[in-house]
Amino acid sequence: MKRKIIGLALAASASIFAATAAAAGTLDDVKTKGFVQCGVNPALAGFGAPDAQNNWTGMDIDFCRAVAAAIFNDPTKVKFTPLTAKDRFTALQSNEIDILSRNSTWTMTRDTSLGLKFAGIMYYDGQGFMVKKSLNVDSALKLSGAAVCTQTGTTTELNLADYFKSNNLEYKVVAFEKNEEVLAAYQDGRCDVFTTDQSGLYASRLTFGTPDEHIVLPEIISKEPLGPVVRQGDDAWFNVVKWTYYALVNAEELGVTSKNVEEMKASTNPEILRLLGVKNADGTAAGFGTGIGLSEEWVVQIVKGVGNYGEIFERNVGESTPLKISRGKNALWNAGGLQYAPPIR
């Protein structure tokens, strides 16, 4: 109820709300309460979902754990709040959560007038289409006249309208507020097409009784940069979240993994020594962790706790997982991808 009222207030006056709701001091609050409250998707395999033993798993989950490891040297000091597409931003605005880490696309509105701030791009995605193989369609451009299932409150429904309009294709939207309803409608044949982020298509297909009967069409119709979000007006917290993401990417780039992080402290590479907060030759602290309110070993804690970016990717969505996603655009910048982090110095 509280969330609903605040949601209405926001709709009436987004910018005023944004200015007042941005509570400063999240890092101190988190340290005091002893855990990070993270808003996540409860049903997106590889990104956010409880496994058979009820342990939360996924890239978005591991990102929350990385932040907890950076602060507490303990990746388990995190609590998860399951959120739907509709409720996610209000939950962050109203201080129910400290971070939103849930397949959310960085858009201008969300990053400005909603009073929120994206801290990085954990996964470069794009919107795609899924159809039953039996429909015998091999391109989205052949979908004229189709009924398309989608979820409200997402970038998905907006891109869908743009794509069909700009290609002069007739279509019928079958939109639902809940993802379960979208998936049920598509599987029951109430629509011909299911559209969402490509990662979401692959993750959802795994939950179908007969995944092999569905194909993802080749067209990618949008940019969906997915990443963690915080409130505007709290730079100290924003910095911790943003630099946790950069630490994961820099660790991969420098070859620092959960297995070798201790040995790497004896490296002769100055970049690795800075990353791992190893003291300067004269015994003074490097200062990068303490500079953002953490310990000097913050990256050691992160990498020991969850691994580097590549380890997180491979463990949750990579080729050896049921999702079998290749690095593609999510490869490091020096390996043909877009994952890039500014230097620690």
- Rounded to the nearest whole angstrom, what is the least distance from the CB of residue 88 to ligand GSH in the complex? 7
Nearer to ligand GSH, 26 or 151 (CB): 151
For residue 289, the minimal CB distance to ligand GSH (Å) is 31
Of the listed pieces 58-66, 153-161, 244-252, 271-279, which binds ligand GSH according to CB under 6 A? 153-161
Rule CB under 6 A: which of 78-137 touch ligand GSH? 84-85, 103-105
**What are the CA-CA distances from residue 334 to residues 61, 138, 148, 235, 274 (Å)?**
26, 33, 38, 29, 20
What's the CA gap between 287 and 16, in Å, rounded?
Answer: 37
| 39 vs 305 by CB, closer to ligand GSH | 39
Is 154 one of the binding residues for ligand GSH (CB under 6 A)?
A: yes
Q: Does 155 bind ligand GSH (CB under 6 A)?
A: yes
- 17 neighbors 10 (Cβ within 8 angstroms): yes
Contact between 152 and ligand GSH by CB under 6 A: the answer reads no
200 contributes a contact to ligand GSH by CB under 6 A: yes
Calpha distance 171→143 (Å, rounded)? 8
Among 37, 179, 195, 198, binds ligand GSH (CB under 6 A): 179
| Size of the residue set binding ligand GSH (CB under 6 A) | 17
- List 39's β-bridge partners, or say none: 81, 100
Closest CB to ligand GSH among residues 37, 150: 150
Looking at beta carbons, which residue is closest to ligand GSH? 200
User: For residue 278, what are its two tokens?
Assistant: 């190893």
231: tokens are: 């409130």
The pairing of strands 127-132 and 214-216 is antiparallel
What is the side-by-side order of every strand in the sheet holding 116-118? 78-82, 36-40, 99-100, 229-231, 116-118
Binding site for ligand GSH (CB under 6 A): 41, 44, 84-85, 103-105, 151, 154-156, 179, 196-197, 200, 224, 226
